[in-house]
Structure 1
Amino acid sequence: MKIVYSFLAFASRFDKAGIRLLRIAVSVILIWIGALKFVPYEAEGITPFVANSPFMRFFYHHPEEYRQHRNKEGEVSPANISWHQINNTYGYSYGLGLLLMGIGALLLLNRANPVLGATGAVLTAIMGIGTLSFLLTTPETWVPDIGGDHHGFPYLAAPGRLVLKDLIMLAAAVVLLTDSAKMALARREKKG
């Protein structure tokens, strides 16, 4: 048992390193996924979420038609690509990509300016809440009733499992906001 407590004492010193690693991890995820929003398959992949969201569907010109124009990841269908161009699928995705990369950059600027880091954390929390709302608005997040016994709530389809992971982003945002706030207040106190 002594070795367990020795390990726990050793591990207890990683809180600051853990928060730094968490900040880097969230930033990498946001910047990487943001950059992917400039690739057609990723832009097309978010169409069900945006088209069904009461808060985002207005970005698309024809959100109600998305089901007829879905491509599989990597599939090239000129007719569907043309529809996505007309629908503003790509334009919305480019804007979202820039926003995600910007949030990731704000998180990384925390050491230089913790107020910027806190801003990135708040935006990450808002993004997490927005993404989690897709569980309520997007039918594709649940296993459809096509003959199996397991469909609807609580049976998450692949898009639902992807969305549910944003609970981690939301929790990380709270930890990062707390860290940035403490750092900003400590710097302010030092300046007197």
Structure 2
Amino acid sequence: MGAVTRLFELAAGADRLGLAVTRIGLVVVLVWIGGLKVYHYEADGIAPFVANSPVMSFFYADPANYKAHMNPEGAVVPANRAWHEMNRTYPFALGLGSVIVLYGLLIALHPVLPQAATVGSFLVAVMSVVTLSFLVTTPECWVPDRGGPEHGFPLLSGAGRLVVKDAIMAGAALVTMADSAKAFLRRRARRTPAEVPSAGAVAA
């Protein structure tokens, strides 16, 4: 029983390590995935999410026709690439990728600017909620009906499985947001001089 208790004590003491791994994981994922938006295959891949989103579709010139111009991942179809150029697919992806990378860099500033990391984590939590909304707005998140018995809700497609993982991202961002906010408040408390009673107050 003592060995089991010791194992649980070790597990309980891993909270700071887990928080550090969570923060590093967020930074790596955000900077990596955001950076990939410079590549056309990644921009093509997010087209269904953007085209079907009621808050993002206006960024595209012709969101209704994206299905006819989807490129298989890694393939180059010149006619489709030309359509995506016209559709503003690639400029939007560059802008989105820059924002995602910025969020990651803000979180990475935790050791020196925890207030910036707090803001970055909050923005990632909001972004994750928006991403999760794609489960409602994007048909490609569900296995399509191609004649078989397995399709539609709750059968997530590859795109849907990618999106639903943002539930973890949202939770991780909230955890790092709280930790960065606490770090900022601790720093500010250390820098604030203790209140010293005035001479009049002492005399009274």
Q: TM-score, normalised by structure 2?
A: 0.92
Highest Rg: 1 or 2? 2
For 1:74, the equivalent position in structure 2 comes to 74
Deviates most, 14-23 or 32-41: 14-23
Structure 2, unmatched stretches of 5+, are 193-204
Paired residues, number = 192
For 1:49, the equivalent position in structure 2 comes to 49
CA distance in 1, matches of 2:30, 2:82: 28
CA distance in 1, matches of 2:34, 2:141: 21
For 1:62, the equivalent position in structure 2 comes to 62
Q: Following TM superposition, by how much is the alpha carbon of 1:11 offset from its aligned partner in structure 2, in angstroms?
A: 2.1
Alignment of 1:37-186 (within 5 A): 37-186=37-186
Q: Following TM superposition, by how much is the alpha carbon of 1:149 offset from its aligned partner in structure 2, in angstroms?
A: 1.6
CA distance in 2, matches of 1:4, 1:142: 43
CA distance in 2, matches of 1:137, 1:4: 47
For 1:32, the equivalent position in structure 2 comes to 32
CA distance in 1, matches of 2:116, 2:26: 15
Q: Following TM superposition, by how much is the alpha carbon of 1:2 offset from its aligned partner in structure 2, in angstroms?
A: 2.3
CA distance in 2, matches of 1:75, 1:150: 28
CA distance in 1, matches of 2:178, 2:107: 13
CA distance in 1, matches of 2:119, 2:181: 10
Aligned sequence identity (%):
49
CA distance in 2, matches of 1:146, 1:74: 24
List 4+ stretches of structure 1 deviating above 3 A: none
Structure 1, unmatched stretches of 5+, are none
Q: Following TM superposition, by how much is the alpha carbon of 1:104 offset from its aligned partner in structure 2, in angstroms?
A: 0.4
Q: Following TM superposition, by how much is the alpha carbon of 1:17 offset from its aligned partner in structure 2, in angstroms?
A: 1.8
For 1:188, the equivalent position in structure 2 comes to 188
Deviates most, 2-11 or 100-109: 2-11
SS at the partner of 1:58?
helix
CA distance in 1, matches of 2:117, 2:160: 29
Name the aligned partner's letter for residue 82 of structure 1.
A
Name the aligned partner's letter for residue 15 of structure 2.
D
CA distance in 2, matches of 1:148, 1:128: 32
Aligned-residue CA RMSD (Å): 0.8
